Every structure is written in structure tokens, then in C-alpha cells.
């Protein structure tokens, strides 16, 4: 802007005043710091030719007066020296735009062209070219605003869209709104709503031609919304709402790309990064935005970890171990967002009741996901090794005092319960229950900010993990607290199976609940019930994690052939996120059948897959190899494997007990 010799041609002055005294006097003067600030941004100010001043606008700079109208001025005097300047003018008329709106637009224009930094204030006199001045004063008519308001109240997104179609050419055909961020934001919101894909309709999903046409149309709406929101940011970069709107557009895209039967025409990882960039910017401008904190937390905790480990994000971390570390870091960052949002919402005073109501849903979701994320930070919440090898027999003599576990795991599981229970309580009737009440199918509504099924499932999941930790990770069911946690988990899983889905989710499966309940039964040595519950609820072919639990129950029942069949099928599943577990269980099944060479190869395959995915401390592979060596009569080699397993995981007491037993055998 202002390039070449004629930088001052067609100049509009924007004069900022603190009260109406200058308007009544008809003049304003600058000296000292105020003049220095003007010259720093507009070095041509002192050489400005009065003849080149086409227009002048006067506005109130104090926030208390931002609602007062801007004024059109006529400059008749311009006196300047190196240390002072005086501008004389007459007030011609009030403009149909507020001082605050003009200031906001001027700031956006100067930041956009690089004259002003985000951290700087506007000087008390600004020099604007014709294009910038047009942005300040061009605004839609009151009739247009009223029309848009009526359409917005009726959620008539198509009506808003058609009012400015073709939206891709708004700049050319509707200059009155191209420079108005508020109206552009409304049209962008309509485009965003029209772009939503809550699930591709079945009749379209089955027709590739119609599906392609449908997705192309939705993509066009998204691009148009993106263009309009970016223009809003250009015009008004300090407004967090515009950054939030663009961030939500990307966030919504991620949700659509990850939902069942959703669209698959985008890069989840890249869309997530774009959403996070925008949400970060919105939160840098206003850190108290609960909705943005929730969305940022969700993307960090629920989307990024899997994208880093298994999705498009893998390529950014060449080292597989670094991928796992990065995934955990994102979990923690997401948790921080949830906790901050919870703190902000709960600290809102009664005078901000509207904000509490507006953000209540996100507050409850933050409680829910904070609990889920604390649980995700527990590295060992189930262990096929202990169950497959049934190492509890080795530890029957252990007392509660000899059971070892990570204190951080118990801390995290108790925090997970705290937030999930609070979510369940608040989501029932909007208030916390004075005395802790046991969640059941009868006191848990099907629908809320989070579905009743999911809340009961997660409460059960957390309590079963608590049992698992207190049992020394499946080693010994010694304490009453340990058993009570498992019994309560069983009740909650059964309740989750009984509570109906909301009407719009009636066809959704509950196989994930059945799988967790099967784990409870396996831990109680009730494998027949585990097999029965999985067969009753599981779809075919079973997902990998369900197949693992199913095969484990079959194996412990001595049904090795069927267990191997289930595992071999899932070993061919390219969507299997834990192939090392699959191969480990195959190895255990073969080991029980005394097929030692085949078992050895399966354990080696498990080791390769674990290394490929960056999984550390997979001591179960060494334990499996130790069993092979032991059963083949190579006791020294078996002991060496166990010693290495013990080094990797000193918390597995069964390894320690076996090691002591085998060392005694070697001595004898």
C-alpha cells in the first residue's frame, strides 16, 4: 500500500479522538509521543499535501464511546512541523457506522498490509488509500441486514446462500458485503452448515456416481465457507470469533472424515493441524473460550494420537518410538485443554448465566473426555500375557502387600473416575449429586450431552482398570477393594447393555461393551460366559480387539483350533492396530499345542510388529520365548529370557516368581 511517488494521492485521514471536544472545536493537534507514533507508521505524514486529502473520518477511540457514530469531516487546515501538527476541519455529518466498527476495520486493514503489528495500537491519525477507506465505510443496507437476520432465525441456510449466489464471486458482485466481516461471517456460516455431512445417505452411498456428485457439492460449500472466513480474518484479524469459525469448519471436516459411513475425501491429519492452528489463534486472542478449548482438546487427545501412530501423521516421526512419545504428549496437551475449560466454566459468576448455558454441553463433554484421557494415560489397562499364560497360578502365595503397581496408574484411574462420574451426575439433571449414587440403567437417561450408554460403559471400563491395577495387573485378586471394583464394573457394563441408544443411533452396535464384559469374565475364570457374550453381540468378522479377547477365552477353554482360526483371520486384517498382540496370542496358542517352532516364529513376528510400531517394554514376547526354551529343556536360555523380561518390566511379579523357581531348578 502507498507505493511509488504518489503514495499520498487520494488519501483519507482517520482521526481518533478521546472525547467530543475536538469535534466541537473543529481541530486536533499532535505532538510528542502521539506524533512519533503517527510518523513511525506513516512516515509521509509530515510531507502530506493538503490537496491530496480527499476524505476524513473522525471516530471515538475510548471503548466506552465505541457505539457512537463515526463522523465525516472536511479538512481545511493542515499545519505541520518536525515537533507538532494541527489539523483543522468541519464536521459534515454522522456516518451510519459506529466508531468501534471503523476502528476494527482500520486495524484489520493496516495489519493486513503490514503497517501495523498485532500488538500495536492504532496511532491517533492514520493515512488510508482509497481501497482501505472503502473497506471502512462500505456496509450493507439495513434492509439487507434485516433480511439476513430473518433467514438466520429460520435456519434457512439455502436462502442465505442463494441471496449471494454465486458465492464464489461475492467480491465482484456484492462489494457491499465483501468489506463487511459481520455479513461475510453470516454467509460463511450458511455455507458451513450446507457443507455438513452427518453421514452419506444410504441411497447415495451405494451409487458411486451420485456419491461423487454429492461429495463434490459439499466440498464446494466448504471451500466457499473457507474463503469467506479467511476474508473475515483479513478484515478483522483481532476478532477471535472469525478464527474460531474457520477452526470449527476444519474441526467439523475432521469429524466427518472419522465417522462411520462418512466421507473419505480428505487428509485427517492435515485438516486437524489446520483446525488446531485456527483454534490456537482464537484462544491467543481470548483464552476463556470454552467451546474452542473443548474442540482443541478433542483434536489433541482423541484424533492426533492415532493419526501419529497409525495414520497420515506417521511420516513426520521417522522413529517409531518417537511417534509413541509424541502421541502421549498430545494426550497430555488435550487433557490440559479439557481441565482449563472445566475450570473456566465452573468459575463463571451467576451474572454470566447466559454463557454458562451456552457452553454447558461443551463443559459436560470436557468432563467426559478428561476422564477418558486420564484413562488413556495408563499404559497397562489389560494384559493378554498374564491371561494367556495364566500366571496367576504362579502368584497364589502373594499377599496384598506384595502386589506391585505404578502409583501414577492408580492416581490416573481415580482421576478418570472423578471426571466421568461428575459427567454422569451433571448430565442427568444439571446438578451434582450431594451423596455419591451408584449409576444404573434406571437412573441414566439414554440421551444427554453424552449418551447414557457411553457414560455407563466408560465408568465400568475405569473401574475394571482400577481392579486390574490393584490386582498387580491381573496377578492376584487379593484385596476387597480390588474385587469390589471388578464387581461394580460388571454391573455397569450390564447396565450399559440395557440402556437404549438414542433414537437416531438405534442401529449402533454394543459389541465394544460386550468385549469389556468378556474381559471381566475371563478375569473371574468364567470363560464360557465370556465366549457367550461376545458371540451374542459381535458382528462378523470381529474387529481385532474383540477377536483377541474372544481367542483368549477360547484358548483358556482349551479350544485351540477355534482360537487359532479367529486369530489367523484377524492377522490378515489390514486395519488391525495391534498386530503384535495377534501374533503373540497365535504364539501362545501354538505353545499350548507344543508346536514350538511355529510358536517361536509367531513370537518373532510379534517382536517385529511391536518394533515397527515403536512399542517399548513388550516383555511378553520374552516370556513366550522363555516358555519355549523351558519346554524344550533349555533352562539356562529360559532364565536368560526371563531376566531380560524382568529388566523391561519389574512390576510383573509372576516373572519374578517364575525366575526364582527356575533358578532353584537349575541349582538342583
3-state secondary structure 327-393: HHHHHHHHHHHHHHHHHHHHCCCHHHHHHHHHCHHHHHHHHHHHHHHHHHCCCCCCCHHHHHHCHHH
Domain count, the chain: 2
Q: Are residues 193 and 289 in the same domain?
A: yes
Of 71 and 632, the one with more pLDDT: 71
Q: What is the CATH number of the domain that holds 190?
A: 1.25.40.10
Residues 6 or more apart whose CB falls under 8 angstroms from that of 294 comprise 337, 338, 341, 362, 365, 366, 369
Q: Are residues 155 and 127 in the same domain?
A: no
260 within a domain of the structure (yes/no)? yes
Q: So what's the pLDDT on residue 392? A: 53
Q: So what's the pLDDT on residue 623? A: 87
Q: So what's the pLDDT on residue 397? A: 54
Q: How far apart are CA 72 and CA 93, in angstroms?
A: 5
- For residue 603, count CB atoms less than 10 angstroms from its CB and return exposed for 0-12, middle for 13-18, buried for 19 or more: buried
Q: So what's the pLDDT on residue 666? A: 87
Q: How far apart are CA 472 and CA 313, in angstroms?
A: 35
Q: How far apart are CA 358 and CA 448, in angstroms?
A: 15
Residue 398 confidence (pLDDT) above 60: no
257: helix, strand or coil: helix
Nearest to 386 by CA among 651, 659, 596, 610: 651
**β 53-60/11-17 pair status:** parallel
pLDDT in tens, 435-480: 578 999 999 999 999 999 999 999 999 999 999 999 988 888 878 9
Q: So what's the pLDDT on residue 378? A: 96
Q: So what's the pLDDT on residue 314? A: 84
Q: How confident is the model at residue 521 (pLDDT cuts 50, 70, 90)?
A: very high
The kind and range of the H/E element at 489 are helix 480-498
Query: ∠178-183-185 over CA atoms, to 5°?
Result: 95
Beta bridge partners of 57: 14, 72
Q: How far apart are CA 347 and CA 339, in angstroms?
A: 12
Residue 587 confidence (pLDDT) above 50: yes
Q: So what's the pLDDT on residue 613? A: 75
Q: So what's the pLDDT on residue 260? A: 81
Residue 403 confidence (pLDDT) above 80: no
Residue 547 confidence (pLDDT) above 70: yes
Q: Are residues 169 and 304 in the same domain?
A: yes
Nearest to 579 by CA among 558, 551, 610: 610
Q: How far apart are CA 168 and CA 191, in angstroms?
A: 11
pLDDT in tens, 178-193: 988 999 999 999 999 9
Nearest to 98 by CA among 69, 137, 72: 69
Q: Mean of the pLDDT values across residues 89-99? A: 93
Q: How confident is the model at residue 423 (pLDDT cuts 50, 70, 90)?
A: very high
Tell me if the bond preceding 166 is cis, omega within 30° of 0. yes
Q: Are residues 120 and 159 in the same domain?
A: no
658 within a domain of the structure (yes/no)? no
Q: Mean of the pLDDT values across residues 343-362? A: 95
Q: Mean of the pLDDT values across residues 617-644? A: 87
Residues 6 or more apart whose CB falls under 8 angstroms from that of 214 comprise 200, 201, 204
Neighbour-count burial for 399-419, b at 16+ CB within 10 Å, e otherwise: eeeebebeeebeebbebbbeb
Of 434 and 59, the one with more pLDDT: 59
Residues 6 or more apart whose CB falls under 8 angstroms from that of 608 comprise none
Residue with cell 471426571: 419
379 within a domain of the structure (yes/no)? no
Mean residue pLDDT of the chain comes to: 90
218 within a domain of the structure (yes/no)? yes
Q: So what's the pLDDT on residue 176? A: 82
The kind and range of the H/E element at 96 are strand 84-98
Enter the DSSP assignment of 501. P
Q: How far apart are CA 256 and CA 261, in angstroms?
A: 9
Q: So what's the pLDDT on residue 432? A: 60
Q: Are residues 195 and 287 in the same domain?
A: yes
pLDDT in tens, 221-239: 999 999 999 999 998 899 9
Q: Are residues 97 and 235 in the same domain?
A: no
Q: Are residues 343 and 195 in the same domain?
A: yes
Residue 658 confidence (pLDDT) above 90: no
Q: How far apart are CA 99 and CA 57, in angstroms?
A: 10
Of 190 and 5, the one with more pLDDT: 190
576 phi, psi to nearest 5 deg: -65, 115
Q: Are residues 84 and 197 in the same domain?
A: no
36 within a domain of the structure (yes/no)? yes
Nearest to 250 by CA among 232, 223, 214: 223
Whole-number percent of the chain with pLDDT over 90: 66
Of 357 and 49, the one with more pLDDT: 357
Q: How far apart are CA 488 and CA 414, in angstroms?
A: 14
Q: How far apart are CA 23 and CA 568, in angstroms?
A: 85
Q: So what's the pLDDT on residue 7? A: 41
Q: Are residues 194 and 67 in the same domain?
A: no
Q: Are residues 123 and 207 in the same domain?
A: no
Q: Are residues 328 and 281 in the same domain?
A: yes
Q: Name the grid cell of 50.
A: 493538503
Q: So what's the pLDDT on residue 6? A: 39
588 within a domain of the structure (yes/no)? no
The answer to whether residues 334 and 302 touch, using CB atoms and an 8 Å cutoff, is yes
Task: Kindly state the greatest CA–CA separation across the chain.
Answer: 112
Q: How far apart are CA 574 and CA 576, in angstroms?
A: 5
Q: So what's the pLDDT on residue 1? A: 32
Domain final residue, candidates 137, 169, 190: 137
Domain final residue, candidates 120, 137, 154: 137
Q: Are residues 28 and 158 in the same domain?
A: no
Q: How confident is the model at residue 318 (pLDDT cuts 50, 70, 90)?
A: confident
pLDDT in tens, 104-134: 889 988 988 889 888 889 999 999 998 888 8
Task: List the domain range (segments joined by +) for residue 178.
Answer: 142-354
Q: How confident is the model at residue 601 (pLDDT cuts 50, 70, 90)?
A: very high
229 within a domain of the structure (yes/no)? yes
Q: Mean of the pLDDT values across residues 365-373? A: 99
Of 594 and 655, the one with more pLDDT: 594
The answer to whether residues 126 and 12 touch, using CB atoms and an 8 Å cutoff, is no
Domain final residue, candidates 122, 137, 152: 137
Residue 660 confidence (pLDDT) above 70: yes
Q: How confident is the model at residue 3 (pLDDT cuts 50, 70, 90)?
A: very low
660 within a domain of the structure (yes/no)? no
Whole-number percent of the chain with pLDDT over 70: 95
Residue 385 confidence (pLDDT) above 50: yes
Residue 4 confidence (pLDDT) above 50: no
Q: Mean of the pLDDT values across residues 636-665? A: 87
Residue 323 confidence (pLDDT) above 90: no
Q: Name the grid cell of 271.
A: 485438516
Amino acid at each position: 500500500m502507498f507505493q511509488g511517488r504518489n503514495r499520498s494521492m487520494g488519501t483519507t485521514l482517520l482521526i481518533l479522538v478521546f472525547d467530543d471536544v475536538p469535534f466541537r472545536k473543529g481541530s486536533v493537534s499532535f505532538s510528542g509521543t502521539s506524533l512519533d507514533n503517527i510518523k513511525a507508521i506513516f512516515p509521509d505524514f509530515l510531507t502530506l499535501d493538503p490537496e491530496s486529502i480527499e476524505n476524513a473520518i473522525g471516530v471515538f477511540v475510548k471503548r466506552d464511546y465505541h457505539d457512537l457514530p463515526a463522523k465525516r469531516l472536511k479538512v481545511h487546515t493542515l499545519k505541520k512541523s518536525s515537533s507538532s501538527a494541527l489539523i483543522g476541519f468541519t464536521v459534515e455529518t454522522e456516518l451510519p457506522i459506529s466508531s468501534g466498527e471503523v476502528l476494527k476495520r482500520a486495524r484489520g486493514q493496516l495489519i493486513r498490509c503490514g503497517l501495523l503489528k498485532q500488538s500495536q495500537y492504532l496511532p491517533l491519525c492514520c493515512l488510508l488509500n482509497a481501497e482501505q477507506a472503502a473497506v471502512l465505510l462500505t456496509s450493507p443496507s439495513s434492509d439487507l441486514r434485516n433480511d439476513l437476520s430473518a433467514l438466520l432465525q429460520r435456519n434457512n441456510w439455502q436462502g442465505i446462500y442463494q441471496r449471494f449466489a454465486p458465492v464464489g464471486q461475492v467480491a465482484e458482485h456484492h462489494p457491499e458485503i465483501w468489506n463487511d466481516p459481520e455479513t461475510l461471517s453470516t454467509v460463511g456460516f450458511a455455507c458451513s452448515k450446507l457443507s455438513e455431512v452427518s453421514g452419506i445417505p444410504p441411497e447415495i452411498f451405494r451409487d458411486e456416481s451420485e456419491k461423487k456428485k454429492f461429495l463434490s457439492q459439499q466440498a464446494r460449500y466448504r471451500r466457499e465457507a473457507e474463503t469467506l472466513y479467511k476474508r473475515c480474518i483479513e478484515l478483522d484479524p483481532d476478532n477471535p470469533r472469525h478464527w474460531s469459525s474457520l477452526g470449527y469448519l476444519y474441526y467439523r471436516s475432521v469429524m466427518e472424515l472419522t465417522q462411520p459411513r462418512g466421507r473419505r475425501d480428505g487428509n485427517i491429519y492435515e485438516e486437524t493441524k489446520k483446525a488446531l492452528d485456527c483454534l490456537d489463534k482464537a484462544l491467543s486472542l481470548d483464552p476463556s473460550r470454552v467451546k474452542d478449548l473443548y474442540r482443541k482438546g478433542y483434536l489433541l487427545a482423541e484424533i492426533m494420537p492415532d493419526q501419529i501412530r497409525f495414520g497420515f501423521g506417521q511420516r513426520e516421526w521417522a522413529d517409531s518410538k518417537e511417534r509413541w512419545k509424541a502421541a502421549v504428549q498430545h494426550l497430555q496437551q488435550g487433557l490440559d485443554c479439557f481441565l482449563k475449560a472445566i475450570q473456566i466454566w465452573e468459575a463463571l459468576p451467576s451474572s454470566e448465566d447466559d454463557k454458562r448455558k451456552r457452553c454447558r454441553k461443551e463443559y459436560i463433554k470436557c468432563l467426559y473426555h478428561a476422564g477418558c484421557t486420564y484413562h488413556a494415560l495408563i499404559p497397562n489397562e489389560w494384559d493378554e500375557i498374564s491371561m494367556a499364560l495364566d500366571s496367576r497360578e504362579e502368584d497364589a502365595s502373594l499377599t496384598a502387600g506384595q502386589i506391585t503397581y505404578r502409583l501414577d496408574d492408580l492416581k490416573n484411574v481415580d482421576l478418570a473416575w472423578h471426571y466421568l462420574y461428575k459427567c454422569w451426575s451433571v448430565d442427568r439433571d444439571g446438578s451434582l449429586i450431594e451423596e455419591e449414587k451408584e449409576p444404573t440403567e434406571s437412573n441414566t437417561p439414554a440421551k444427554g450431552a453424552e449418551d447414557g450408554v457411553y457414560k455407563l460403559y466408560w465408568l465400568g471400563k475405569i473401574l475394571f482398570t482400577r481392579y486390574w491395577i490393584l490386582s498387580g495387573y491381573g496377578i492376584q485378586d487379593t484385596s476387597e477393594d480390588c474385587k469390589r471394583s471388578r464387581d461394580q464394573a460388571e454391573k455397569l457394563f450390564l447396565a450399559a447393555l440395557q440402556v437404549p441408544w438414542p433414537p437416531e443411533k438405534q442401529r449402533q452396535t454394543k459389541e465394544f461393551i460386550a468385549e469389556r464384559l468378556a474381559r471381566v469374565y475371563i478375569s473371574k475364570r468364567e470363560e464360557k460366559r465370556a465366549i457367550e457374550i461376545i458371540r451374542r453381540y459381535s458382528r462378523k468378522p470381529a474387529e481385532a480387539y474383540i477377536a483377541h479377547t474372544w481367542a483368549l477365552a477360547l484358548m483358556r477353554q482349551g479350544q485351540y483350533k477355534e482360537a487359532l482360526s479367529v486369530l489367523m483371520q484377524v492377522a490378515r486384517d489390514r486395519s488391525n492396530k495391534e498386530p503384535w498382540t495377534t501374533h503373540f496370542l497365535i504364539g501362545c496358542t501354538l505353545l499350548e499345542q507344543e508346536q514350538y517352532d511355529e510358536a517361536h516364529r509367531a513370537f518373532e513376528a510379534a517382536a517385529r510388529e511391536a518394533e515397527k510400531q515403536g512399542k517399548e517394554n513388550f516383555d511378553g514376547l520374552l516370556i513366550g520365548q522363555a516358555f519355549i526354551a523351558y519346554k524344550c529343556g533349555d533352562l539356562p536360555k529360559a532364565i536368560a529370557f526371563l531376566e531380560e523380561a524382568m529388566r523391561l518390566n519389574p512390576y510383573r511379579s509372576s516373572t519374578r516368581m517364575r525366575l526364582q523357581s527356575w533358578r532353584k531348578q537349575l541349582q538342583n
